[in-house]
Amino acid sequence: MLIEMKVSALAVDPYTNTTIVILKDIGEKNALPIWIGFMEASAIAVELEKIKLSRPMTHDLLKEILKMLDVNVKRIEVNDLKDNVYYATIHLSFSAEGKEKLHLIDSRPSDAIALAIRTACPIFVDEKVIEKSRNIDLRKVKEFQKDGTSEDWKDILENLSPEEFGKYKM
């Protein structure tokens, strides 16, 4: 069964200093932390914070290409977790020969999420992924707060120079 979720927060794992995107369901009964790279977190944060960049990021470019081709992002699904690696699928639809066609594209969850928030499409997570991730202790996650208790993603991104983008290894 699929559960609809939203991006709740971006966080940093205090033990590994790895960025995490946290998805929560609508009723906030389930949370799913997904460890992602700094650049992927930046792509998500830029859109969440509505930061205007002088040049489009890859996900902005992809959104515009899909729009020009009249392809809609219907939804994304985080559909598996194997050996601590999350898997996702992007569901695309378009009209061809008078019929609606659906294509499923394999994706990293971070890329799928970055595209989903740009296209305002729903994010779904398979229940089995939530079950497999239950051993992750969310109390150990230090969430970025906007109340000044820790760094704000907006400040980080606005002060990031182009030279710094290349120094973070994924």
pLDDT tens over the chain, length 170 residues = 999 999 999 998 887 888 999 999 988 899 999 999 999 999 999 999 999 899 989 999 999 999 999 999 999 999 999 988 999 999 999 998 899 999 999 999 999 999 999 999 999 999 999 999 885 444 433 343 334 334 454 555 555 554 444 444 33
pLDDT value at residue 13: 83
Is residue 170 one of the residues assigned to a domain? no
Nearest residue to 112 via CA among 36, 11, 29: 36
- What do you get for the CA distance between the two ends of the chain, in Å? 32
Q: State the pLDDT at residue 41.
A: 94
Burial of 113 (0-12, 13-18, 19+ CB in 10 A): buried
Place of tokens 């606005």: 158
Quickly count: other Cβ atoms within 10 Å of residue 156's Cβ.
Answer: 17
Candidates 13, 14, 11; CA nearest to 23 is: 11
Amino acid at 79: N
Residue 132 lies inside a defined structural domain of this protein: yes
Please name the amino acid found at residue 69: L
Q: Which of 44, 9, 43 is nearest to 23 (CA)?
A: 9
CA distance 136 to 124: 19
Domain count across the chain: 1
Run of H or E residues at 118: helix 109-119
3-state secondary structure of 69: coil
Q: What is the CATH number of the domain that holds 111?
A: 3.10.690.10
Res 141: pLDDT: 35
Give residue 159's pLDDT.
56
Which structural domain, as residue segments, surrounds residue 28? 2-165
Q: d(Cα 64, Cα 23) in Å, to the nearest integer?
A: 25
